C-alpha cells in the first residue's frame, strides 16, 4: 500500500492477519512502514546495492515508531541513508559489521528494541529485570563475538551463588528491584541468554549460540495447597476484610482466584464484556492469557460472586479501582492483611490456583480435565498435580477389586463385605498341594 507516511497514516495502519503489512511512502522512494501481526510499527528503508540483474535488494530497519521516533524524524534519517547509498555505501552491511563487535549490553538493548514484539508485558518485565540485574553486570562489557560457553557457565555459577545480589547503593534502588540470585534465577538467566544469542544468530551477528545445551539447575516448583480447614479460615478472613474495608472488589478478586483457578492477571484485568452470563454458557471468555485465547467455565459460587458485584459507570473492569476507568491496584496489601488474619503464612495468591487444582484432583478429576480447567497448554504442566489424584485412584482400584471378586464368585457384589468376598475367593483358588 502507498501514500505519504504521516502520523495519521501510522496511527491508522492495521496489522496483517499472519504476515507483516507494509506501507510505502509516495514521496520518498524506499521509505516505508512495517506493521507486524502483533501490531508493532517499524520504519524501514528498502534499497538496492549494485546495478542491473546483479543488484541486491536490501531492507534496513530505521527504528520502532514512538518517542523519539516520529514519521518526520524517520523520514529525515531515511534521506540521510539514501545519500550514503547514492555515494556507494551500504548502510545495512555497515550496521552488521558494527554489530559484530557490539557488546552483550548492546545486544540486550537491541533485542529489547526489536526482538520482543511477540512477548507479553509480564514476561518482558521479567526479562528486563534479569538483563539489568544479572546479565549486564556479569557479561555486559564483553564483546558479542568473544563470549564462550565457559563464560555462560560462569554466569550460571555466579548468579546461583548470589554474586549479583545488590549490596551497595540500596538507597537508590526502586522498591522490589533488589536481585536475589539462586538456582531458579540462574536457570532463567541462562535460558534468556540462549534467546539473546539465538536472536544474534538470526540477525547474522554471530554464527553460534554458546548457551545452547548448558545444563541448568532444576527449578523447584512451588506447590502449596490449602486444606479444607485453611479454606474455611480464608473465607472468614475475606468476609471480615470486606466488612472492615467496605470495598467488595479486592475480596471478590481473591474469591474468584480460588473458585476459578485463574491466574492473577486474568482476574485483575477482566472486563465485563468478557463475562458471559447466558444460562448454560456461564463463562469468562478471555481474549488473551498466558497461553492465548481461553474460556473459563464458571461454577455456581464464582457466578454468585460476579452477580453480587456492582458495575461502576464508565469503568470496564470487573475488579474496579478507585480511579476512573481503572482496575484495582492494591491487591497485594489486601492479601497481606487477609493472609495474616487467616494464619496462612507464606501462602501466595498463585497458591489459590494450585488449591483449585488440588480440590479438583481430590474429587476425582483426571489430569487432562484439570489441565483444561486451568488452561494449560502442555500436559507436562499439569503433571505436578499427579500425586494429588492418588486417593481417587486408590478408591477406584478398590471398587474394581470388589467387583472382580464378586464376578469370580458369581455374586452381584452387593451381599457380604470385602473381607468375606476375598476369603471366599482365596478358598476357591487353593491348589491341591495346599489342601
Q: What is the pLDDT along the chain (435 residues), one digit of tens a residue?
A: 778 999 999 999 988 777 899 999 999 999 999 999 888 899 999 999 877 777 888 999 998 898 778 999 999 999 999 999 988 899 988 887 776 678 999 999 999 988 888 777 778 888 999 999 999 999 999 999 899 999 999 999 999 988 886 543 343 444 445 567 788 899 999 999 999 999 999 988 889 999 999 998 876 566 688 888 999 999 999 999 999 999 999 999 999 999 998 989 899 999 999 999 988 888 898 887 666 678 888 889 999 999 999 999 899 999 999 888 899 999 999 999 999 999 999 899 989 988 888 888 777 777 788 777 887 766 666 766 665 655 555 566 667 777 777 777 776 545 455 455 445 444 444 444 433
Q: Quick one: 53 and 191 in the same domain?
A: no
Last residue of a domain, one of 71, 99, 127: 99
Q: Quick one: 61 and 110 in the same domain?
A: no
Please state the domain count of the chain: 4
Q: Quick one: 59 and 122 in the same domain?
A: no
Q: Quick one: 29 and 120 in the same domain?
A: no
Q: What domain range is 58 assigned to?
A: 7-99
- Nearest 5°: the CA angle 246, 251, 254 is 170
Q: Quick one: 267 and 352 in the same domain?
A: yes
Distance between CA 133 and CA 120 in Å, rounded?
A: 20
- This prediction's pTM: 0.54
**Overall residue count recorded for the chain in this entry:** 435
Q: Quick one: 159 and 248 in the same domain?
A: no
Estimate to the nearest angstrom the gap between the alpha carbon of 228 and the chain centroid: 29
Q: Quick one: 65 and 116 in the same domain?
A: no
Q: Quick one: 76 and 121 in the same domain?
A: no
Considering the domain boundaries, does residue 207 fall inside one? no
Considering the domain boundaries, does residue 384 fall inside one? no
Is the bond leading into 18 cis (omega within 30 degrees of zero)?
no
Considering the domain boundaries, does residue 260 fall inside one? yes
Q: Quick one: 263 and 348 in the same domain?
A: yes
Q: Quick one: 358 and 404 in the same domain?
A: no
Q: Quick one: 88 and 127 in the same domain?
A: no
In order of 76, 199, 296, 301, 352, the CA distances from 257 in angstroms are 51, 36, 12, 12, 6
C-alpha cell at 122: 509480564
C-alpha cell at 383: 503433571
Q: Quick one: 371 and 242 in the same domain?
A: yes
Amino acid at each position: 500500500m502507498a501514500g505519504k507516511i504521516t502520523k495519521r497514516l501510522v496511527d491508522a495502519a492495521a496489522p496483517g492477519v499472519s504476515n507483516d503489512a507494509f506501507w510505502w511512502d509516495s514521496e520518498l522512494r524506499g521509505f516505508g512502514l512495517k506493521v507486524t501481526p502483533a501490531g508493532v510499527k517499524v520504519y524501514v528503508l528498502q534499497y538496492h546495492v549494485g546495478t542491473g540483474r546483479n543488484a541486491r535488494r536490501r531492507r534496513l530497519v530505521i527504528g520502532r515508531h514512538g518517542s523519539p521516533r516520529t514519521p518526520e524524524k524517520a523520514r529525515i534519517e531515511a534521506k540521510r541513508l539514501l545519500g550514503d547509498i547514492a555515494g556507494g555505501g551500504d548502510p545495512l552491511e555497515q550496521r552488521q559489521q558494527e554489530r559484530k563487535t557490539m557488546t552483550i549490553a548492546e545486544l540486550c538493548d537491541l533485542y529489547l528494541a526489536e526482538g520482543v514484539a511477540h512477548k507479553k508485558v509480564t514476561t518482558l518485565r521479567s526479562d528486563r529485570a534479569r538483563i539489568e540485574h544479572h546479565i549486564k553486570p556479569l557479561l555486559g562489557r564483553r564483546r558479542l563475538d568473544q563470549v564462550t560457553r565457559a563464560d555462560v557457565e560462569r554466569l550460571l555459577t555466579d548468579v546461583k551463588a548470589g554474586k549479583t545480589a545488590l549490596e551497595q547503593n540500596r538507597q537508590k534502588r526502586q522498591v522490589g528491584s533488589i536481585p536475589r540470585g539462586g538456582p531458579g534465577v540462574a536457570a532463567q538467566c541462562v535460558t534468556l541468554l540462549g534467546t539473546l544469542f539465538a536472536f544474534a544468530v538470526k540477525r547474522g551477528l554471530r554464527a553460534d549460540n554458546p548457551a545452547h545445551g548448558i545444563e541448568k539447575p532444576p527449578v523447584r516448583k512451588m506447590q502449596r495447597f490449602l486444606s479444607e480447614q485453611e479454606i474455611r479460615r480464608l473465607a472468614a478472613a475475606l468476609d471480615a476484610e470486606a466488612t472492615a474495608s467496605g470495598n467488595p472488589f479486592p475480596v471478590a478478586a481473591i474469591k474468584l482466584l480460588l473458585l476459578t483457578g485463574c491466574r492473577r492477571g486474568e482476574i485483575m484485568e477482566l472486563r465485563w464484556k468478557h463475562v458471559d452470563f447466558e444460562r448454560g454458557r456461564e463463562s469468562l471468555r478471555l481474549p488473551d492469557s498466558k497461553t492465548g485465547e481461553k474460556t473459563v467455565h464458571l461454577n455456581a459460587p464464582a457466578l454468585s460472586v460476579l452477580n453480587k458485584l456492582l458495575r461502576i459507570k464508565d469503568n470496564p473492569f470487573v475488579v474496579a479501582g478507585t480511579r476512573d476507568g481503572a482496575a484495582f491496584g492494591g491487591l497485594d496489601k489486601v492479601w497481606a492483611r487477609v493472609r495474616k488474619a487467616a494464619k496462612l503464612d507464606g501462602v501466595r495468591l498463585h497458591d489459590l490456583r494450585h488449591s483449585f487444582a488440588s480440590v479438583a484432583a481430590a474429587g476425582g478429576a483426571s489430569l487432562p480435565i484439570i489441565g483444561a480447567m486451568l488452561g494449560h497448554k502442555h500436559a507436562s504442566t499439569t503433571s505436578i498435580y499427579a500425586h494429588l489424584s492418588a486417593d481417587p485412584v486408590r478408591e477406584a482400584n478398590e471398587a474394581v477389586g470388589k467387583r472382580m471378586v464378586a464376578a469370580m464368585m458369581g455374586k452381584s457384589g452387593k451381599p457380604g463385605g470385602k473381607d468375606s468376598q476375598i476369603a471366599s475367593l482365596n478358598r476357591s483358588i487353593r491348589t491341591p498341594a495346599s489342601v
